[in-house]
């Protein structure tokens, strides 16, 4: 049996939710939502949350690969990013592939705050901080994590409101948003509430169309085809249920 944490060559993941776009591109904002590149903490399964961890060498190569891919596609108007380094460095690498493209930092695109679990290795978290870990695993979406951690409801409201603001401002445009695994899973829930997302891999491309009338559709999900010459963590740690 293969190691679930091994680095593998990517395959496109649609998850059954890839929708054809509207023929009238002025009717919606096309928002390309990208998870940041890999960090050493992703690789070691250490919970990041809102701690400011930098990309590792693999993550920087992933960022360059997704930037090269986007530079060969249709025009991008602007790049928005979480203000955490791992996302911001990925965003700035993307923006550097376009002449004069601006990166706008938005703290509402940050990862979920994981309270007392932040900085802990995942398999040790239940022993070191059992109360916080139980809250983390709770099925209650209003459950906050001890130590200042967010509930899933707060994360959902924060990041869906941020994407709605961006979509309203950029109807008829193509925009990049660089953010985090927990955020992207919440955005998936907003666009496709009857489905469960698969793992959100580092620098995966996930395309949302936001229309007037509070209508969201999911055009594509989990595309890492740009990583064909790069390794990535098959575990998707931080882009799965660990959300951080």
Q: Which residues carry out catalysis?
A: 36, 111
- What does the chain come to in residues? 244
Which residue is it, tokens 């959902």?
A: 156
- Opening angle at CA 146, ends 140 and 153, nearest 5: 35
Q: Using CB atoms within 10 A of its CB, is residue 26 exposed (0-12), middle (13-18) or buried (19+)?
A: exposed
Which residue is it, tokens 């990013």?
A: 81
**Across 73-184, where does the E strand assignment appear?**
78-81, 103-105, 174-179
DSSP string, 59-87: HHHHHHHHHHHHHTSS---EEEE-SSHHH
- Calpha distance 46→6 (Å, rounded): 16
């Amino acid at each position: 049996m293969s190691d679930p944490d091994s680095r593998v060559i990517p395959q496109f993941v649609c998850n059954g939710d890839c929708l054809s776009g509207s023929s009238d591109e002025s009717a919606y904002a096309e928002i390309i939502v990208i998870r940041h590149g890999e960090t050493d903490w992703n690789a070691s399964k250490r919970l990041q949350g809102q701690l400011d961890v930098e990309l590792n060498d693999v993550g920087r190569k992933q960022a360059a690969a997704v930037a090269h891919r986007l530079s060969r596609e249709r025009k991008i108007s602007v790049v928005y990013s979480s203000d955490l380094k791992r996302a911001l460095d990925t965003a700035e690498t993307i923006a550097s592939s376009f002449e004069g493209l601006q990166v706008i930092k938005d703290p509402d695109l940050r990862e979920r705050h994981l309270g007392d679990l932040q900085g802990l290795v995942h398999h040790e978290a239940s022993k070191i901080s059992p109360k916080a870990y139980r809250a983390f695993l709770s099925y209650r979406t209003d459950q906050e994590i001890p130590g200042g951690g967010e509930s899933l409801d707060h994360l959902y409201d924060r990041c869906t409101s941020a994407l709605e603001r961006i979509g309203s401002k950029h109807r008829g445009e193509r925009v990049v948003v660089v953010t985090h695994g927990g955020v992207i899973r919440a955005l998936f829930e907003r666009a496709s509430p009857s489905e469960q997302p698969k793992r959100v891999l580092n620098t995966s491309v996930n395309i949302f169309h936001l229309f007037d009338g509070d209508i969201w559709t999911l055009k594509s999900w989990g595309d890492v085809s740009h990583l064909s010459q790069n390794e990535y963590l098959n575990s998707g740690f931080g882009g799965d249920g660990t959300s951080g």
